[in-house]
């Protein structure tokens, strides 16, 4: 969560998860319960937003 102010982060909480033998952390809205279906959906959405385009599609 880049550019977040302290007030923004005070409304969030870190969520740690293991994915493909890596520990990942992201900031989750406080109203999402860890390990719930909603949380898993939210983590998948965040993870998908971080996917990197193949090198041949990267702009110069």
Give the domain extent around 15: 6-50
**Does a structural domain hold residue 57?**
no
Span 33-55, pLDDT tens digits: 666 777 778 777 777 766 655 55
Q: What percent of the chain has pLDDT over 70?
A: 37
Residue 14 lies in a domain: yes
| Helix, strand, coil content of the chain in percent (nearest 5) | 35, 25, 40
Q: Is residue 18 part of a domain?
A: yes
Number of domains in the chain: 1
CB neighbourhood size of 28 (10 A): 19
The residue that leads in pLDDT, 60 or 40, is 40
- Residue 33 in domain: yes
């Amino acid at each position: 969560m880049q550019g977040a102010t302290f007030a923004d982060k005070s409304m969030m909480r870190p969520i740690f998860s293991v994915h493909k033998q890596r520990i990942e952390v992201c900031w989750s809205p406080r109203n999402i319960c860890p390990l719930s279906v909603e949380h898993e959906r939210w983590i998948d959405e965040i993870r998908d937003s971080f996917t990197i385009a193949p090198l041949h599609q990267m702009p110069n």
